[in-house]
Structure formats: C-alpha cells, structure tokens
C-alpha cells in the first residue's frame, strides 16, 4: 500500500484504493493495509491536488468500519491511534465534502511535556501522519510551538542510528520549515543524511518523500 502511494506521488497521481482491495485475495487484508497506512493514502490528493474518487472514498470508509477507530483512548498508544484515526477521518471528510470531524482531547494528553523532549519526540514521531502539506489542528500547533524539542529529538535519533524514527521526525522538521519556523538544523541536509542510511523500506521512503516535498516546496 505504501508503495502504491509512493508511486502515485512520483508520477501516476492515482493510488487506486478500490483496485488494490479488489486485487487482494482477502478483501479484509486489503482494507487492513489501507487502515494501517491511514491518512497517508490521501497524500497524492493533498500534494498533487488530485480529486478523490467515490470508489476510493468508499474503500477508506469501509476500512474504518471493519477496523473501527479508537473511541475512548485510555493508554498512550490508544491516544496516538485516536489522533491518527482523526487525521484519516478529517482528510476523508474534507476530500469528500462532508462535515468536519471533531478532534480528540487536549494534545498534551498524547504528547506530554516538551521539556522531556526525548520522550516527547517519540510521540511526535508516532504521529507523523499528521505532518503533511497543509496540515493543521491542535497537535500540529503544539509541535510547531516546540522547534527546539523537535530538533533535539531528531538529532538524538540520528546519533542513535534509529533512522526509522528519524524519517518520521523529518516530516515534522519539513513541516516546521514550510511554516517558516527558524530551525537550528538544516532540514535538507537532514533528509539527505537519513536517506542514505534508511534503506528501501517503502514506509520509510514515503516519509522521506513527504519531508522532501515540504522542504523543496518552500525552497
């Protein structure tokens, strides 16, 4: 699924969610893949301004029916999932012309204090699907307000050679750069450094593609 989104960003412009699910031997597994990629299935529509087909919108809606969103998050992991679910539902509503979706509770409940920047940055990385062109919302505002904590976090992951987490944080660094926020690190050099080391896993390559678009769009 991530490969299809990446291909759409690089040229085809169309993920073809309905076609993807129809091609799966088990439709439930296909819907599960759509659910796991989450709001990122909408990246070609957000980045390339492509319309969302009715069939693809129905696939995303079906994936959320088969794998329901978190309703009453109690654990940190559930709070992360609740915000990721909200991002998917919000993007679907916007692209389909439906009513806006109410956000979960205070983002501080999921992010924690920025003073504990090592732990805070882990939560920010888990919420990487919220960092995309045109991103908005309470969590985005909270992260935008903490550029130093974010940069400390991403430098720590690079030094620890945790390049999977670094790709997710790079999306947020790109978003802050696109918002005009002064940063103590060069986002372009960060992306190139991580790109050379992260390998070819589609999900991580997709994260870097989003980060690179955010940086290059404001170059």
Instruction: State pLDDT tens for residues 105-159.
Output: 788 899 999 999 999 999 999 999 999 998 999 999 999 999 999 999 999 999 9
Report whether pLDDT(207) > 80: yes
Distance (Å, whole) CA 218 – CA 136: 17
Report yes or no on whether pTM surpasses 0.75: yes
Long-range pairs, 57-64, Cβ under 8 A, ≥24:
57/92, 57/95, 57/96, 58/18, 59/17, 59/18, 59/20, 59/21, 59/31, 59/34, 60/17, 60/34, 60/88, 60/92, 61/92, 62/31, 63/31, 63/32, 63/34, 63/35, 64/35, 64/88, 64/89
Of residues 15 and 189, more confidence is placed in 189
DSSP-H helix ranges across 67-181: 76-96, 108-111, 117-126, 138-144, 147-159, 163-178
Give the range with max mean pLDDT: 13-27, 84-98, 145-159: 145-159
């Amino acid at each position: 699924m991530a490969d299809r989104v990446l291909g759409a960003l690089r040229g085809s412009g169309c993920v073809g969610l309905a076609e993807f699910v129809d091609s799966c031997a088990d439709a439930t597994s296909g819907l599960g893949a759509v659910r796991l990629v989450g709001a990122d299935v909408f990246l070609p529509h957000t980045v390339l301004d492509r319309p969302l087909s009715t069939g693809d919108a129905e696939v995303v809606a079906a994936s959320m029916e088969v794998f329901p969103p978190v309703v009453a998050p109690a654990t940190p992991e559930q709070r992360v999932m609740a915000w990721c679910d909200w991002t998917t539902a919000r993007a679907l509503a916007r692209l389909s012309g439906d009513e806006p979706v109410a956000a979960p509770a205070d983002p501080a409940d999921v992010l924690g204090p920025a003073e504990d920047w090592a732990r805070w940055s882990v939560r920010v990385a888990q919420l990487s699907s919220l960092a995309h062109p045109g991103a908005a919302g309470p969590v985005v505002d909270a992260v935008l307000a903490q550029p130093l904590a974010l940069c400390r976090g991403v430098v720590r992951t690079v030094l620890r050679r945790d390049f999977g987490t670094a790709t997710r944080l790079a999306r947020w660094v790109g978003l802050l750069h696109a918002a005009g926020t002064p940063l103590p690190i060069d986002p372009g050099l960060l992306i190139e450094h991580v790109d050379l080391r992260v390998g070819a896993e589609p999900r991580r390559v997709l994260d870097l593609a989003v980060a690179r678009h955010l940086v290059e769009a404001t170059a």
